[in-house]
Structure 1
Amino acid sequence: MTDQQHITDYPHELAGHCGSGALRDLLHWAGLSYESTPLDEGTIFGLGGALGFTYLRHPAMTPPIYLVGRGPDLTVDFTRRLGITATHDTTDDPDEGWAWVRDELDQGYPVLCWADIAELPYLRVRLSMSRHDIVIVGYNDDSHTATVVDNDRPDPQHVPYDALARARASTGFPTPTRHTTYRLRYPTQLPPLADVTADACHAAARALRDPEPMFDSITHGTPGLVEGHGVDGVATFVDDLSRWPELFSSDQLDTTLFALAAFIEKAGTGGGLFRRLQADYLSYLARRTQLSTARQAADTYTRLARLWSDLAAIATSKTDALTRIHTIHAAARHLPALEQRAADDLQILARDLTAGDTNGADPG
């Protein structure tokens, strides 16, 4: 058995989100693009059709709120749309899970895996998040380390085998990691861009307009839980903001506001609760197709990203917590209508892409 392996010249840049950043690098490594240059992260995120919205509040959670602006199936949907064969393996046996990784690397393939951020030593965080995407590009039995590429670090990280095993065996939030491993096999060329983008825009619009609960198996029937999904969930969130001053003490309110800002800007969202990545994708489509509906959607998502980022800035400003929450609630009242408009823009764009209405431009 080989005692070390490393994929040389693996391309990597920092990214706003772990999933779209990993898929961007993997597509670049495979030499696949719709352009003469690699696709950017926003375009990768948009092609996944992964936009969404979920809000949870429950006193047993720490912090007592959870906010996310995407759905759970970016990797599965992205690979399906782009004709990439993805074998998704899970196990509770660490030896089996590690054997999958070694086998892929020995065949010359980088390996996309889940890992809990709390167990990755280079991240130095306490918060558990078990569905963090990493790419493993090497191993060395002499030093007992694996070489890990992470969206949050500019350079590959050498992670001890035991720490990586813990990260891949986590039972933390939102789901057990179970040594999740993706074996990816790439096509010689990508499918037509118009087909991929129409399906991706339709999927994102559907997730916002007619959402399926993201954590239903975990949260269903939980007493005292406030829960909202999709555009209607945004309205639930905004309405619930008015209750925070009576639900939380001053210190708790301060902590919750900082958590809110982190969920919007810092928790691997690419900024603006993933709306900035979506705006980048739609701007790419507007340039590529010359569709006015693509430009309209890009403009709407740019406004949405800015509004979400404004909320995060208010949440971490130097005023007292009560002033901050009242200011946030006043600004957030514009969110439900703008989120609805954005979802509608996506659906209209999906229709135009399906119809091939590109005003003579090349849709790919």
Structure 2
Amino acid sequence: MIIPKLTPFVGVHCETTTTGTLLKHIGIDLSEPMLFGLGEGLSFIFWNMKSMDFPFIGGRIKPDQLTINITKNLSLKLEILETASKAKAWSSVQSLIDVGTPVGLKLDCFHLEYFSKPFHFAGHYSALYGYDESKAYLIDTKQQGTKVHTSLQSLALARSEKGPMASKNLFYTIALGKKTPDLTKMVRIAAKNNAKEYLHPPIANVSYKGIKKLAFYLEKWFHSSTDPKKDFTTTAMLMEKAGTGGAIFRNLYRDFLLEAYTITKDPIFQNAHKQFKEIASHWTKIASLFETLGKTQEERMLAQIKDLLFLVSDLEYEAMTEMLKLKVV
């Protein structure tokens, strides 16, 4: 069974691509930066656990929350379900496909057969739009091929894998709500909410504080690493290329701010867009330096990276503080 006339959302980030596909199917067609902004998606996390090969650096809010925020701000009906049963997990999504409803899936991409360089990451998303006796048909990011397929066995493993950010065969659907939101109002609400969250992180590993924590920890990480080449080149790839839209999601947020200004004509958005143009360029430079550090292992580069991290932390704090001045009318 393949859902007919489904138009895939072509995106660079997995959750916005998946949710964007479900939205297009119900007649809502927004850009990826707009979805990321309406999802109040911008953040930062520096996470280091003994069970991890090396520290994790991320530039967005936690998995699942992005879609929750998007649907809340667009007044849509979101249904999220989990089950520990693999059989129930499959029969549930199968029945939805049979009635023409595409389904968002949370997965560990290590098991997906179309990934050319598989790695364990249980916070990946794809949209299921069909199946046959042996394969599942999915919408994934542009870099993964957009319209892809994997075996039913591999999909079951990807859905039920355990580990950091994993869920129990999580899947979700989106339906239209009772009212059509005012986008001019909602971009203000979303941006202001994102700024509030960013400026009041729950722990020191998150937001502008997390960026500073990474800066302070950088030398210890470098000197204690058993494989600095792998650690820092992989981290550079994750920041710049692995579904972030470049500059650890700052490119997507920069473009959201420009769209928000186009819609509202509010100079606060215009100024924030200029600030994030600079911030994004710094993050691209940081990713490049991480990659060079991994390849050359020249300690002198640590100071340059630390200086840039302190700089972007301050710049992001300033930009988000300004966005608290947005008026919701």
Same fold by TM-score greater than 0.5 = yes
**Equivalent residues in 2 for 1:167-246 (5 A)?**
167-175=158-166, 177-187=167-177, 190-212=180-202, 228-246=205-223
Q: Does 1:329 align with 2:320?
A: no
Residue of structure 2 equivalent to 1:22: 18
Cα 1:81–1:75, aligned 2, differ >3 Å: closer, same or farther? same
Q: Choose the corresponding residue for 2:61, options 71, 75, 84.
A: 71
**Equivalent residues in 2 for 1:195-344 (5 A)?**
195-212=185-202, 228-248=205-225, 252-317=227-292, 319-344=296-321
More helix by share: 2
CA RMSD of aligned residues (A): 1.9
Contact conserved, 1:254 with 1:321, CA < 8 A, in 2? Answer: no
Of 187-196 and 335-344, more deviation after overlay is shown by 187-196
Residue of structure 2 equivalent to 1:217: none
> Any unmatched runs of 5+ in structure 1?
33-37, 214-226, 357-364
SS of equivalent residue, structure 1 residue 333:
helix
SS of equivalent residue, structure 2 residue 80:
strand
Residue of structure 1 equivalent to 2:7: 11
Cα 1:101–1:245, aligned 2, differ >3 Å: closer, same or farther? closer
Q: Does 1:48 align with 2:39?
A: yes
1:247-286 per-position Cα deviation (integer Å, ceiling 9, x unaligned): 336xx33222213212311232111111111111110011
C-alpha separation between the residues in 2 aligned to 1:301 and 1:257? 24
TM-score w.r.t. the length of structure 1 is 0.83
Matched pairs, number: 324
C-alpha separation between the residues in 1 aligned to 2:315 and 2:178? 40
Contact conserved, 2:9 with 2:20, CA < 8 A, in 1? Answer: no
Q: Which has the larger radius of gyration?
A: 1
Residue of structure 2 equivalent to 1:362: none
Cα deviation, residue 150, structure 1: 0.5
C-alpha separation between the residues in 2 aligned to 1:330 and 1:9? 51
C-alpha separation between the residues in 2 aligned to 1:259 and 1:326? 20
Letter in 2 for 1:54: I
Cα 1:146–1:338, aligned 2, differ >3 Å: closer, same or farther? same
Letter in 1 for 2:26: A
Residue of structure 2 equivalent to 1:93: 85
C-alpha separation between the residues in 1 aligned to 2:224 and 2:49? 11
> Any unmatched runs of 5+ in structure 2?
none
